[in-house]
Structure 1
C-alpha cells in the first residue's frame, strides 16, 4: 500500500510539473523544471546525455518500468483516464496475451526511422513528443484564455500581475495530429488501460524488454494465492495470468495496483530467485481465447483515427482604427529557416522530436511547426507575426534534445541563419513612389543600406542588402509595409555560418 501511494504521489507531481512546462508561455518555469524534459528517454538519447540514459536503463533493470508509471507524461495521462473510467466500472480488466508482432514491429520501425533520420515518424511515435503536442496545441489555448480573463480582471483593479497574450493556431495539421492522438490514447485508456503503452509505444516496448530482467518485480506466492482473479481484474496492463500464476513483466508498468488489490497478501514487490520466477507461456488455447480481444484492440486502434479541427478566430486588425491592414503571407522560401543554435537543417532534422516546447515558449511568435513531410511538425521560423530578436535565446534554453544548442546572445548576433533578399516589384518605393527605409532603419546588424534608385538628384532611395553582414533575423521582412508579400524576405541557409 505504501509503495503504491509513493508511486502515485511521484507520478502526479511529475505529470503536473511537466504539463506546466508546456503551458508556460513566459519561459519563467523552464530554468526550474526544464530537467523534466531532459530526463525523458528519447530526448536524452538524441542529446547524447549518457548519464540520463544509463540512469533510466539501470532504474528499469532495478525496479521495472518505473519510467512508464512515473516519469512519462503520456503514461500518467493514460492512468488518469483509466482511473476516471474506473469510477463507472471497477475491476474491468482481464488478462490478454501480448501482441508481440505489433509491439516489436513498431519498435523496429521506430529504430530504423531514428537511424535514417526520418524525424517526422520518430516524432509521431515518441510518447513524450505526443504529449507535448497535446499540451501545446490543445491545452495551451485554454490556459491562455484563462490567463487573458485574469488579465482583464487585474486590469480593472489597476494591477499588472497578468498580461494579455495572443491565442492562435500555429499549424492546422499538427493540431489535427494532436487531437487524433488524444482521442486514440484516451479511448484505448478508457477501455483497456495501458493498451497504447503495451502495443504501440516503442519506448514502452524497449523498456519492457529490459524489465524482463529487473531485480525487483511483483511476485505471486502460489501458496497464498486462491486464484480469485482480483489482481488480474485490476491490472491495467492486462499482464497477470491468474490461471498460470504468472506475470508478463515486459508489459508490467510497476503501478503496484495488484499489491493493493490482493486481499491475501499473495503478491509482493521483491526480488525473485531465477529458479522460482514464473514463466509466462502462451498456449494455443489461450491465444484462441484472446483472439477476440486482439481483434477489438486492433479495430480500436485503426477505426478511432478521426480528424478534427478548430476554426481560427479572425482577428480584426486596423490601422489607427480606420483602415483594415491586410495580413502578411508567407513567402515561398527555397530553404527553410531554423533557429540559431540548431546549426542547420540536417542537425535539426536528426535531433528534433517535434515536442513543440520551443514553439510554446517563443515570445516573438515566429516558430511554427513545419507542414512539409520531410520535417513534419519540427519548428521552422517565419516572420509574419514578429522577428527573431537578438536578445532572445528562449528556444535554445528549453530544447531537451540538443536540436537547438544553448547559445549566448553574443553568439546569436554573429550566427547567420539566412540572408535577406529584396523584391523590387513589391517595394512601396517603386509601386507607390513614397519614401520608406523601414528595413534599413530597423536592421539590428546594419546590413541594409539605402541608396538612390536613379541618378536624378531627387530620386527615392531603395534598399541594398549586404549578405555578408545579414544574420537573417527577419526584422526587415516583418516590418516591411508592403502587403500581402513583403518587399524583402529572408532566405534560409542549410548550414548556419558565423560572421
Structure 2
C-alpha cells in the first residue's frame, strides 16, 4: 500500500485549512465566522478535546476519539494533517530549506518526552494544568495568532477605516488596538521563538521532545495497523529518506523506522530512488524499530485518561451551584469616611460559562480564543491568575469595558470545556460576582456631587440610588439580582479608586431575575459619558 503524491497534497491542504481557520477565528473582528465554524477548526484538537471529555461530557468532547482511531490505523496523522503548530513548523522548515540546506539525519530516540508526559499525568492528578498550558501545540498556535496576527488585522482594519473616511466612506468601523499584557506577550514570544528555532535547526524536534500530544500519540502509534517501513532487500542505504525525514526517525544503517516518532508527513515516500520505503501493514513489514522505553511507560496513557476530575451534572451546564461563602458573599463596606480605599480583589473573575475558579482552571489550556471572541474586550489573559491556579489563563477585567448583558460569544468558542456553552437567557442569570460599594470613594459622599452612573448602567436594576433622611443619593446593591457584569464598575467616575466594583464568586451562582417593574437596560454597543 503506497500513497501517491495526492495524499501528500491532501496533508498540505488539510493542515493549512485547519491553521487558517484557527487564525481567522482569532482575527475575526467583524463577527463573520459563525461559532460552528470555529468549532470545526478546534473539534479535532487532541488535548483540548481530551480535557473537555474529562470535565464536561458531550458530543463536542468526542474529537479526540477519531484522532486516536486514526492513530491506531495510520500512525501519527494528527501531527501532520490536523495540528496547526505542526503545519507552522512545516512552513518554517520549507522556508529554511529555501534559504540554506537543513542537515536532517537520524537521531536515537530519547526519553525526555516520556518524562514530560509523566509530569503532566502527575500534575493533572493534583489538578494543575500548567504544563499543558505551556506545551499544548494547539494552544501555542492559537494564542500566538491572538497575540501577533490579531494586532496586524486591527491595524489593517483601522488603516482601511481611516482611508475610507478620507474618501467619504464610513462603512468600516475603527477597532480598538490591544496587545496582551507584557508578561504574557513575553512568554508567548519566547516560546514561539523556541519553536521556530527548533524547527529551523532540527525539523520536528519539538514534536518528539517537548510535545505531550506527540508523546501520547507516539505510544498509540506502536499499535497502528499501517506504518512506514524499509524493505531491507531493496534498500541501498543511500540516506535520501533520512535526509528528508523531519522527525529524524529513519535509521538507514539498520534499515528501521521508529514508528513512535514518525509524524506521517509521507515525504520519505517521494525521495527513495528504489522504492524501498513503504507504507505497509506491520505484519508484512520485516523489521520495524521499537523503543524499549515505551513499554515501561504505556501506563501514562491511562494517567491522562483518569488524571482530571469529572464534573457532576450541576457543574456541566445543567444548572449553576449556589455561590459559596468564600469569595462569593458580598458584604457592603461600611468604613467611615477617610482616605480613598484601593480595591483589593482576592479572586479573579471567571467568564460566564466557566462555572467558577476550580472548574475553569481545571480545563483551560490558555488558547485565548475567548479573548478574541469577546466583543467588549474584557476577557484578558494573565501570566498567573486565579490564585496561582491559572497559567496564561484569562480572567475578566473591567478597566476598559464591561461584560455585555446580551452577549454570550465567549461561551460558544471554548474547545476545552473550561467555558461551557450557555444560552443567552441563561447567561443573563449567571452570577460571576457581586457588586461592592465603597462609600468613602464615592464622589457623592466625598464631594457632594450628584452621580447616578452606576445605577443608570446596571442592566438588571441591582444597583439603586437610595436617599436617607434627605441626604445625598448613594448606591445600594441588591446582591441577589446582581450578575457581576461590571457595568457599574466601568461607569463609576471616582478616582483614583472606583467606588463600586465586582467581587468575584469562587463558584458561579444564579441571580434572581429583575423584579417586576424594573427596567432592564440593553447595554450592547452603548458608550458611557465618562
Confirm or deny: 8 A CA contact 1:110 1:125 kept in the other structure.
no
Question: Which string of whole-angstrom CA distances, capped at 9 and with x for unpartnered residues, describes residues 307-328 of structure 1?
Answer: xxxxxxxxxxxxxxxxxxxxxx
Which residue pairs with 2:23 in the alignment?
19
TM superposition shift of 1:219: 2.0
* CA deviation after TM superposition for structure 1 residue 330, in Å: 8.9
CA pair 9-268 structure 1, distance change in 2 beyond 3 A: same
Structure 2 equivalent of residue 302 of structure 1: none
State the partner residue of 1:216. 226
Q: What residue in structure 2 maps to residue 360 of structure 1?
A: 372
Deviation for aligned residue 1:91: 5.6
- Summarize the Cα distance change of 1:61–1:275 in structure 2 as closer, same or farther, 3 Å threshold: same
Cα distance between partner residues in 1 of 2:406 and 2:133: 30
User: Cα distance 1:355–1:157, how it changes in 2: closer, same or farther (>3 A)?
Assistant: same
- The alignment status of 1:5 with 2:1, answered yes or no, reads no
Selected match of 2:156 from 146, 170, 180: 146
Indicate the residue corresponding to 2:345 in structure 1.
333
Determine the C-alpha separation between the residues in 1 that align with 2:218 and 2:194. 22
What is the match of residue 162 of structure 1?
Answer: 172
Offset, 1:25: 3.3
Q: Distance in 2 between matches of 1:356 and 1:413?
A: 23
- The match for 2:404 among 378, 389, 397 is 389
Does the alignment pair 1:399 with 2:411?
A: no
What are the Cα deviations for residues 169-222 of structure 1, in whole angstroms up to 9, with x where unaligned? 232221111101111000000000000110000110100111122112212122
Given the alignment of the two structures, is residue 450 of structure 1 paired with residue 460 of structure 2, yes or no?
Answer: no
Alignment equivalent of 1:474, drawn from 470, 474, 486: 486
The residue number in structure 2 matching 1:349 is 361
Any residues of structure 2 matched to 1:58-457 within 5 Å, and which? 58-90=69-101, 92-100=103-111, 102-273=112-283, 276-280=286-290, 331-370=343-382, 371-372=384-385, 373-452=388-467, 454-455=468-469, 457=470
Q: 1:94 to 1:26 in 2, by over 3 A?
A: same
Aligned to 2:295: none
In structure 2, do the counterparts of structure 1 residues 162 and 397 end up closer, same or farther at CA, with 3 Å as the change threshold? same
Deviation at 1:281, TM superposition (A): 7.5
Q: Is the 8 A contact 2:259 2:289 kept in 1?
A: no
| 1:487 maps to 2:499 | yes
Q: TM-score by structure 1 length? A: 0.86
Aligned pairs for 1:38-57 within 5 A: 38-48=43-53, 49=60, 51-57=62-68
Q: TM-score of the superposition, structure 2-length normalised?
A: 0.81
- Mark the CA change 1:39 to 1:132 in structure 2 (over 3 Å): closer, same or farther: same
Alpha-carbon distance in structure 2 between the residues aligned to 1:183 and 1:347: 31
C-alpha separation between the residues in 1 aligned to 2:151 and 2:285? 54
User: How far is the alpha carbon of 1:153 from its aligned partner?
Assistant: 2.3
Q: Which has the higher helix share?
A: 1
Structure 1: how far apart are the matches of 2:353 and 2:218? 35
Q: 1:160 to 1:116 in 2, by over 3 A?
A: farther
Question: For the structure 1 residues 334 and 51, does the alpha-carbon distance in structure 2 shift closer, same or farther, using more than 3 Å as the test?
Answer: closer
- Structure 1 residues 262, 331: CA separation in 2 closer, same or farther (over 3 Å shift)? farther
Query: Secondary structure at 2:94's aligned position in 1?
Result: helix
Q: Which residue of 1 aligns with 2:313?
A: none
Q: In 1, are the aligned partners of 2:146 and 2:368 still within 8 Å (CA)?
A: yes
2 CA distance for matches of 1:51 and 1:463?
A: 48
Aligned mates of 2:288, 2:50 — CA distance in 1: 33
Tell me the secondary structure at the aligned position of residue 87 of structure 1. helix
The 2-side partners of 1:192 and 1:483 are apart by: 54
Aligned length: 449
Shift of the 476–498 alpha-carbon distance from structure 1 to 2, 3 Å rule, reads same
Aligned mates of 2:162, 2:125 — CA distance in 1: 49
Change (3 A) 1:275 1:242: closer
Higher alpha-carbon deviation: 329-338 or 189-198: 329-338
Distance (whole Å) between structure 1 residues aligned to residue 431 and residue 153 of structure 2? 35
CA distance in 2, matches of 1:114, 1:281: 26
* Match of residue 508, structure 2, among 477, 496, 499: 496
Q: Which residue of 2 aligns with 1:307?
A: none
Check 1:167–1:331 CA distance in 2 against 1; reply closer, same or farther (3 A cut).
farther
Kindly indicate whether the alpha-carbon contact (under 8 Å) linking 1:369 and 1:376 is maintained by their aligned counterparts in 2. Answer: no
Report Cα offsets for 1:145-178 as digits up to 9, x if no partner. 1121122223333434432111122322211111
Helix, strand or coil: the match of 1:244?
A: coil
